[in-house]
A = this chain, B = another copy of it.
Amino acid sequence: MSVDTLQYLLGMAGTVAFAVTGVLAVTPRGIDFFGACVLGLITAIGGGTIRDLILGVPVFWAADLNYIWVALGASFVAFLTERLLTRREIHRTMLYLDALGVSMFAIQAAQKVMWLDFGMPIAPILLGVLTAIGGGLLRDVLAGQPTLLKRRELYAIPVTCGCILYVTLLTWFPAYAVLTGVVCSLLILCLRSSAIYWDLHVPLWLTTQSRHTDSTQSKK
């Protein structure tokens, strides 16, 4: 199996994980199967779609519809087997798969932006992060849930660190593109997995305290 095939299969595994975690994020609040499939699909392909719109290139799934089929299929299965998937150990597995997807998609996106020589050096980082978290943001907004940006989850920060390192290393050592990509993906995967494993959050001193605690509790 070649490196390309492996990367493709890992990408599909990541797509499955994105769709499944997307569906599981909305099912606890009551949703019909249509909404679940749409939100699963959006979680899986939303980030990359916004990235491609900003880059001004054709959306990635137009050229390879497998991303759509896999995301729709995974969402459908996730909706049907939802009670099974929310069992703690299976949900955990999906979170780790999701971390794998995030780590790969972010670096792939940064790579794509660097190839296009688009807004170096900050755009590859921004669009890498956007690709990784954009789908989840869209899903939460459409489902009326608090987005990632409000949840103190250690999700986007590992991705940002990985993308910054990737762009920095590749600017200094352009010859080691593949190695750098693998290392930075692994870095994101490790950081994110640690956050899942030890249930780490952004420390409170890096957070402004809500001054409307009472009203926010009752209102939102």
Contact = CB atoms under 8 A, between A and B. Distances in A.
B54 A49 contact: yes
Contact of A79 (B146, B208, B209): B208
Contacts of A209: 30
Quickly give the copy total for this chain.
3
Contacts of A212: 28-29
A152 interface: yes
Interface string A54-70: 10101101100100110
A68 B122 CA distance: 8
A210 interface: yes
Interface stretch (A1-9, A136-144, A179-187): A136-144
A218 B215 CA distance: 10
A149 B141 contact: no
Interface stretch (A11-19, A33-41, A98-106): A33-41
Contacts of A62: 118-119, 123
Interface string A120-158: 001100100000000001000111101111101000110
A149 B220 contact: no
A208 B36 contact: yes
Given A34-B157, A68-B123, 10 more contacts: A29-B216, A32-B202, A33-B206, A34-B149, A34-B206, A36-B208, A56-B59, A62-B123, A65-B122, A143-B149
